Structure 1
Amino acid sequence: MKNTVLHKADTRGHADHGWLNAYHSFSFASWYNPDRVQFGMLRVLNDDTIAAGMGFGTHPHDNMEIITIPLEGDLAHKDSMGNAATIKNGDVQVMSAGTGIQHSEFNPNHDQRTKLLQIWVFPKYRNVTPRYQQITLNPEDRKNKLQQILSPTSEDEGVWIYQDAWFHLAEFDAGVSTNYTIKKEGNGLYVFVLSGTVTIDEQELSTRDGLGVWDFDSLTIKASTDAQFLLMEIPMQQ
């Protein structure tokens, strides 16, 4: 029998540091909600706005798959693996932190903000060799269809991570609908609405709402208005 958990936008954790305005779908930093620690192997979904010229200083990570999706503006990245890159709207970046990395992220522009999603997924394997990957997507490939942006293998579309997960971005016109069929038995789906109104089976979601669904085979997604959304299929157990 299908199970769901609804996370309305205004129930998220919120921290405004001036240079950083952050919303947390799951417990993060000083915001802790025992009912909102993770969804399956999805540990963090942060909706961040970084002021012009500001950013995160060098800090460590290990044993986590870290996915960054810029929504507006640019994000400059440097890490202990020797990578120095700028990612922008239309790109997807992934780091497998594995045995440990250090990195910094900042908004290199002095005249505009940067908006991004940062997502953490628990890996399938511990202590892998750290890795970095960045790709540029074609936004036309998500117009009224699901664009795969992440998978468990380098042979598939999008970036890849050490987990049996599949992510899709979509930009639907009002009235467009599609079905989503789970790719691996035992996985769940977390839907995050970037803009507009979307109905998942009978549940209506608005901008920045999240819905977790598990114990199902397929479901219907319909855009009630013009809408953009992210689908994250995630193992519910390791």
Structure 2
Amino acid sequence: MLRYIPKEQLFLSNKGWLQSRFHFSFAEYINHDNVNFGVLRVLNDDMIAPKSGFDMHPHRDMEIVTYIIDGELTHRDSMGNVETLKRGEVQYMSAGSGVFHSEHNNHPTKELTLLQIWILPPQKNLPLLYGSHRYTDEERKDTLLHIVSNENDDAKIKLHQDVNFYVSELSKNKTLTFNIAPNRQVYFVVIEGKLELNNTLLNAHDACECVDEKVLEIKAKSDTHFLFIEMANG
């Protein structure tokens, strides 16, 4: 079963320096009927204005993945990590026992766009993890790039939770197929362009819940960029 979620259905937040589409209940968007999809707790489609960002703030008992769409994200945290990431690069943090961090767009003129994704951990007070990986354009071109997995799988970024992230930049008229194992589900997001997902048309910023499906057939209707998260049913 596919449940199509058009971008118009997402909650829009506009703080001036920060514009967001919230896929799930978050901040000023309180919706007890839309809190999570399995272990996926937060998916925010953010635009951060130049010379602005999130000042130092705490997190704990959450696994956080940030996927950079365009611009430059500069990260600092209480573990001593400082780095700047660009398009297609991925940052991850497992904030088990607690960590402080800041996220800024220090560019003088260019907006920063990204997906901020929070995954519920399998238990509380897990060891802190931080890292990033600088995936290239070629690695995700016309293929499914496995960017995040659990600790026992083969992605270069590993979280404590049993979850998998895939991204692709798929050329117009190209097709990709993904097989879904029994008792697994997928949350799918179109970042740029448009595509057909099992014959359902999705445009940029649209999403789709995929439950009790055996296979996903992805057909690019234009050059398109997408991300999806595979996890256990529930």
TM-score bracket relative to the smaller structure: over 0.9
Q: Distance in 2 between matches of 1:154 and 1:76?
A: 29
Aligned with 1:10: secondary structure?
A: helix
Which residue matches 2:105? Answer: 107
Which residue matches 1:57? Answer: 55
Q: Deviations over 1:189-232 (max 9, x none)?
A: 11100111111112111111000101222221111222111111
Q: Once superposed, what is the RMSD of the aligned Cα atoms? A: 1.4
Q: Distance in 1 between matches of 2:112 and 2:5?
A: 24
Following superposition, the deviation at residue 154 of structure 1 comes to 6.7
Which residue matches 1:132? Answer: 130
**Which of 176, 179, 184 is matched with 1:187 structurally?**
184
Q: Does the Cα contact within 8 Å between 1:73 and 1:112 map onto a contact in 2?
A: yes
Is 1:219 equivalent to 2:232 in the alignment?
A: no
Q: Distance in 2 between matches of 1:229 and 1:91?
A: 14
Aligned with 2:100: secondary structure?
A: strand
Q: Distance in 2 between matches of 1:172 and 1:84?
A: 32
Q: Distance in 2 between matches of 1:182 and 1:161?
A: 20
Is 1:161 equivalent to 2:159 in the alignment?
A: yes
Q: Percent identity?
A: 37
Q: Does the Cα contact within 8 Å between 1:74 and 1:88 map onto a contact in 2?
A: yes
Q: Deviations over 1:163-197 (max 9, x none)?
A: 111111111112111211125x4221111001111
Q: Distance in 2 between matches of 1:131 and 1:157?
A: 15
Aligned with 2:222: secondary structure?
A: coil
Q: Deviations over 1:86-132 (max 9, x none)?
A: 12213100000101111111111112111111000111232111110
Compute the TM-score of the two structures, normalised by the length of structure 2.
Answer: 0.95
Q: Deviations over 1:47-72 (max 9, x none)?
A: 11111110111111111110001111
Is 1:236 equivalent to 2:233 in the alignment?
A: yes
Please, which moves more after superposition, 194-203 or 63-72?
194-203
Number of matched pairs = 234
**Which of 93, 96, 109 is matched with 2:94 structurally?**
96
Q: Is there any run of 5+ residues in structure 2 with no aligned partner, and where?
A: none
Aligned with 1:123: secondary structure?
A: coil
Is 1:76 equivalent to 2:74 in the alignment?
A: yes
Which residue matches 1:35? Answer: 33
The one-letter code sitting in structure 2 at the alignment partner of 1:52 is: P
Which residue matches 2:193? Answer: 196
The one-letter code sitting in structure 2 at the alignment partner of 1:28 is: F
Deviating beyond 4 angstroms after TM superposition, the runs of 4 or more aligned structure 1 residues are: none
Which residue matches 2:142? Answer: 144
Aligned with 2:138: secondary structure?
A: helix
Q: Distance in 2 between matches of 1:201 and 1:89?
A: 28
Q: Distance in 2 between matches of 1:88 and 1:172?
A: 19
Q: Distance in 2 between matches of 1:147 and 1:42?
A: 19
Q: Distance in 1 between matches of 2:164 and 2:21?
A: 23
Which residue matches 1:122? Answer: 120
Q: Does the Cα contact within 8 Å between 1:60 and 1:102 map onto a contact in 2?
A: yes
Q: Distance in 2 between matches of 1:86 and 1:127?
A: 27
**Which of 3, 6, 30 is matched with 1:5 structurally?**
3
The one-letter code sitting in structure 1 at the alignment partner of 2:130 is: Y
